């Protein structure tokens, strides 16, 4: 099979790494511990941006109010939740196929860069990616185009031949704002219509379907 894109950028949590239950669980534990009653239904409506921005959007907290919650979340996640990280079904096969096709890859996450690197290292994927970019690497996090354009520089790629794969509106918006040729949304946290409204050019039910969108050949089912 022949790759359809010359550069591929992946989101991390909920896209390649099966971390959504871990992230949501740790956020709920931490936010509630700081006296802000939040349930999973409310949290999932706002998930995607970095946590301080989420806290502003969800609870109206300013940066000074959000910072101690954010730092506590980082500590709790690294100590108790991150060690339980596993790849999502199909992630290894997809990364193997892209490696065999010699397509350069990057991770762009709205985690801090150090946390993103620790997650990738925990999964033994560090050698698979040219770069790992976090919310604090470029001038602004997703959905701003800056982190994707920075990734492209390091991949020696161009937006007109690049694709981003993600699962939230932050990923879709970043791909659209950066002018990427492909913006693939994985259905889960957000449904297909929602992802398309925020910039997806394609949606996929899972990573096997993503593989069908990244290569010429028999297409995998998409949602």
pLDDT tens, residue by residue, 183-211: 999 999 999 999 999 999 999 999 999 99
Residues of the chain with CATH 3.40.50.1000: 2-19+86-216
pTM: 0.90
What confidence score (pLDDT) does residue 218 get? Answer: 52
CB 196 within 8 A of CB 203: yes
Domain 2-19+86-216 fold = Rossmann fold (3.40.50)
CATH of 20-83, one of 3.90.320, 1.10.150, 1.10.3470, 2.30.30: 1.10.150
pLDDT of 220 > 70? The answer is no
Q: Are strands 105-108 and 7-10 parallel, antiparallel or unpaired?
A: parallel
pLDDT tens, residue by residue, 65-84: 999 999 999 999 999 999 99
Q: Residue 105 — φ and ψ, nearest 5°?
A: -125, 150
Residues of the chain with CATH 1.10.150: 20-83
% of the chain exceeding 70 in pLDDT: 97
């Amino acid at each position: 099979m022949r790759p359809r894109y010359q550069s591929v950028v992946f989101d991390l949590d909920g896209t390649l790494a099966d971390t959504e239950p871990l992230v949501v669980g740790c956020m709920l534990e931490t936010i509630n511990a700081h006296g802000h009653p939040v349930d999973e239904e409310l949290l999932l409506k706002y998930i995607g941006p970095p946590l301080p921005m989420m806290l502003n959007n969800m609870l109206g907290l300013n940066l000074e109010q959000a910072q101690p919650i954010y730092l506590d979340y980082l500590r709790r996640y690294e100590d108790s939740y991150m060690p339980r990280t596993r790849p999502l079904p199909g992630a290894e096969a997809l990364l193997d196929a892209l490696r065999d096709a010699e397509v350069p890859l990057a991770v762009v996450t709205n985690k801090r860069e150090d946390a993103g690197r620790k997650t990738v290292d925990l999964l033994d994927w560090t050698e698979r990616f040219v770069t790992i970019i976090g919310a604090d690497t470029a001038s602004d996090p997703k959905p701003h185009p800056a982190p994707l354009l920075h990734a492209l520089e390091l991949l020696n790629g161009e937006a007109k031949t690049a694709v981003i794969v993600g699962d939230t509106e932050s990923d879709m918006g970043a791909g659209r704002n950066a002018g990427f040729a492909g913006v693939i949304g994985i259905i889960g946290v957000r449904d297909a219509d929602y992802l398309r409204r925020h910039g997806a050019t394609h949606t996929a039910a899972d990573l096997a379907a993503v593989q069908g969108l990244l290569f010429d050949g028999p297409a995998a089912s998409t949602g």
